[in-house]
Amino acid sequence: MKNIGLIVVVSLISAFFSVTMYRFFAPPKEVIIKEGSNARYTNYTDKILSDQNRTYTSAAPTSFTEAAKAVTPAVVNIRASAGGDFDFWGSGSYSGSSGSGVIVSPDGYIVTNNHVIEEGKEIEVTLNDKRKFEAELVGIDNSTDLALLKIKDDNLPHLIFANSDNVLVGEWVLAVGNPFNLESTVTAGIVSAKGRNINILEDAYSIESFIQTDAAVNPGNSGGALVNTNGELVGINTAIITRSGRYEGYSFAIPANLARKVVRDLKDFGVVQRGILGVGIEDVSDELSKSLDMANAEGIYINKVHRKSAAEEAGLKKGDVIISINRNKTISVPELQALVAQFRPGNTITVTYIRDGKKLSTDVTLKNKSNTTTLIRDDKILESIGFELKDLSRDEIRSVGVNGVKVKSVIRGSTIENTNMDPGFIITKINGKKVSTIDDVIEELESADEMIVLEGIYENFPGEYYYKFPI
């Protein structure tokens, strides 16, 4: 036993001595502790949305639950009824369409697709809490397939427009709809491309610069919200490419920046104020870039400049290659169209372009479809009674000696044609009140109760003429 105890004591002393010698002679060991780092976001300050600056963040792929919870109350179901078609025995059916919409203000403005409501005479909106409202159609824009509705209520849940220019390919997004009164549907995916043109809009001034995602979107989700995981609106779901009639892998949304501008114009003017450059354009191909001695095939080639257009007045020429608008790169034609479409006639943008290998910039004051810088009026009331008007120029006022508005054309079979009015008539008064602009005419027509009396002259005929009709 004594020998065993001695052995144990000697072993402990030897071990202690060995460890001490190792610590003395061995070099110190560096220990590294890796800590998780916080996610970093790209910030964007939106000075347009409100008087106060608001900071948006590009969403991180974390949890979808909070975004879905915040968004679904602001996405509504829309039913547009075109009425019924019945025979003598009462047989027949109702026709119409349905889809989704997004509440974009607490006082009841709702944005949706035009194709959701275009065939409907009566529009019913069902909120996520099942309340139903009759909606007023504020206006439509065929060039983007957007429509703006209004319901009468206050303090409604609504979504905030994000800056869709900052949306990144590969970023997580949610597609939220309210189809067929199923309350809500939420699907997730990523942004798979930007600036997509799929040639589905037939308007001459159509703008297709879609955000492409792989989030599942079916027909009833048209007009619904595409949001980031912060719950901010980055697009309006509009289309899918399908052969079966159902979702097959890709869906397309109108970017929020373009939708926001359309909403504002429809709200403020009843029509969209579209700024136009006045050029013919095409993407720069590899062959074209080589012929122009460009380093890469990026930019938009100007193949035509229209006479007296905004582009011509700013000095742009055929053969120039536009590379940015207000410092935003223009990689493709849809991207350029979407950037320009965010501005109104009379707004000035900075166009950067390449000419003869040199990088140049010019300020361009955009024009409207009529090639002027003035804003377009909502002239539905003029169309409804049957004539097209124009303001008199200074030379015309000097020539006829009066202020007024000239009738350019009269629609066949209209109320105006039934008065026997001829084109060229100059309206000087409406119900005894002087008018000198088209805005004056529209204001007087809209404020009239029952009867309209137009007073005026013809340039080459003496005397005054009067035309009377019910409004």
Rounded Cα distance between 339 and 4, Å, is 91
Strand 75-86 to 54-57 pairing: unpaired
Among candidate residues 222, 251, 309, 332, the one labeled active-site is: 222
* Contact assessment for residue 228 and residue 59, using Cβ atoms and an 8 Å cutoff: yes
Residue 315: which of 274, 278, 370, 276 has the closest Cα? 278
CA distance 386 to 426: 15
DSSP for 144-206, please give it: TTEEEEE-S-SS----PBP-GGG--TT-EEEEEE-GGG-S-EEEEEEEEEEEE------STT-
The closest alpha carbon to 136, from 128, 147, 146, belongs to 147
Q: How many residues does the chain have?
A: 471
Taking the C-alpha atoms of 364, 379, 95 and 415 in order, what is their torsion angle to the nearest 10 degrees?
-150
Query: In this structure, are residues 149 and 101 in contact, taking their beta carbons and an 8 Å threshold?
Result: yes
| Coil, helix or strand at residue 41 | coil
- Of 145, 265, 320, 440, the active-site residue reads 145
Neighbours of 452 (CB within 10 A): 18
Determine whether 277 is exposed, middle or buried from the number of CB atoms within 10 Å of its CB (0-12, 13-18, 19+): buried
Q: How far apart are CA 244 and CA 200, in angstroms?
A: 17
115 an active-site residue?
yes
Neighbours of 130 (CB within 10 A): 9
Nearest to 441 by CA among 467, 414, 413: 467
Closest to 70 measured CA to CA, from 139, 128, 109, 22: 128
Q: What is the amino acid identity at position 310?
A: A
Catalytic residue among 97, 100, 115, 440, which? 115
320 is catalytic: no
Let me know: does 406 contact 390? Beta carbons within 8 Å. yes
What is the set of active-site residues?
Answer: 115, 145, 222
